[in-house]
Amino acid sequence: MQLRCRVLEKMPQIRSRHRSPFIRHTATTEKINAGSLTYAKVDLNTRHSSFVAFFRLWHLWHSIMNYVDLSGRAKFRVTGPDRLRYLNGQLTNDLNALVLGQAMYAFALTAKGKLAGDLYLRAVNDAFLIDAPPELRESLLARLERYVVADDVSIEDVTERFYLRHFPQSLAPGETRPGIIRSESNRFRRLGTDLFFETETVLPAGAGSGERLGDAEAETLRVVAVMPRWGHELDENVLPQEVGLDDLAISYTKGCYLGQEVVSRIKSVGHVNRRLVKLRLLEGPPLQPGLKLTAPGKPAPVAGSLTSVAPLPVDGEIYALGFARRNLADPGNRLAVVDPASSGLIGTVEVCSLNVT
């Protein structure tokens, strides 16, 4: 008992050194009716609910062997002597800069410069291996195949062939066993490791001993890292620069590709009309996607909307992602939250910096 008390007394110091643990909170439920929506009010100042929950979530974040299971993502294998030239004319990033053993993030666009999909790809022997959101399995394959005319390129759907695990903490260098395709990727804006493999029996020593992050932990990690997700922040109506991933996904110096004219025109203008922002709840009921954002104290006009909400608090804060008008998207700005059903003001959020801890 004395040992447990001394450990508990040290928890504030532990939290100050590690600024990215997920901390579960005891929710004090007080029903609030807002139009057609009913919320349970959450006391953000409530301390963590238990010693065990704190260290479980801290462990999930920091353990090098814990992973996110991405096996459900669509996967394509691109082969043929023209594969590099062809894909470079279809994607926003410069595949000539792709380093063996690393994954590259890129967008596929429409001719009007809108998104057709987002994906990661890596070079594997005589092929490129692509993974993309599961919702795009059919549409992205059709988009990539559409312009294969005289090119010697073949695109194969290998979704069912491979498992895919992502380790948010990069694995230590080591010998790769046959059947494993390893690449370093930045899926959460920090260097991690992807492992493609065909069976669960060929993982390198130690990589199979980690714990799978649950859906809530993985989604919270994504929101805090401000990585957009197809169907939430990304869809066919989004321009690539609106999500702020130019440094990861767009090359402004490569040759022509489908949609480049629109991308280059936006760069020359210098801005887009709205931007993806990370938001912190200051007051009000729990956030949920679909709620609207306006300037403080003004129920209209609408200045943006919420697209994703972290399922778990982080360091006592509730975070969300959304789009806001350019003039309201700077860190430190406060925005009002509006229930679209009643047009009533129900809360306040603050725009956060995009720094990833």
Which of the two residues, 345 and 205, has the higher pLDDT score? 345
Which of the two residues, 355 and 255, has the higher pLDDT score? 255
Q: Residue ranges per domain, the chain?
A: 21-47+273-352, 68-225
Under 8 Å between Cβ of 106 and 249: yes
Token pair, residue 178, equals: 């046959």
Any residues with CB less than 8 A from the CB of 355 and at least 6 apart, and which?
none
Integer-rounded Cα radius of gyration of the chain: 22
Q: What is the pLDDT of residues 154-177, one digit of tens each?
A: 999 999 999 999 998 888 776 556
Under 8 Å between Cβ of 339 and 35: yes
With cut-offs at 50, 70 and 90, classify the pLDDT of residue 271: confident
Burial (CB count within 10 angstroms: exposed 0-12, middle 13-18, buried 19+), residue 280: middle
In the prediction, which pLDDT does 202 show?
54
User: How far is 352 from 357, CA to CA, in rounded Å?
Assistant: 13
In the prediction, which pLDDT does 206 show?
54
User: How far is 241 from 67, CA to CA, in rounded Å?
Assistant: 29
pTM: 0.81
Averaged pLDDT for residues 211-232: 93
User: How far is 12 from 34, CA to CA, in rounded Å?
Assistant: 36
Measuring CA to CA, which residue among 280, 278, 336, 270 is closest to residue 303?
336
User: How far is 308 from 295, CA to CA, in rounded Å?
Assistant: 20
Q: How many residues are present in the chain?
A: 357
In the prediction, which pLDDT does 12 show?
35
pLDDT of 58 > 70? The answer is no
C-alpha 251: how far from chain center: 20
Q: Which CA distances in Å does 26 have to 45, 110, 185, 312?
A: 10, 46, 35, 11
Average pLDDT score, the chain? 82
Averaged pLDDT for residues 302-322: 94
pLDDT of 95 > 90? The answer is yes
Q: Does domain 68-225 have CATH number 3.30.1360.120?
A: yes
- Tokens 């609106």 appear where? 242
Query: How do strand 192-197 and strand 163-167 relate by DSSP bridges?
Result: antiparallel
User: How far is 30 from 134, CA to CA, in rounded Å?
Assistant: 38
User: How far is 246 from 241, CA to CA, in rounded Å?
Assistant: 6
Q: Does domain 21-47+273-352 have CATH number 1.20.1630.10?
A: no
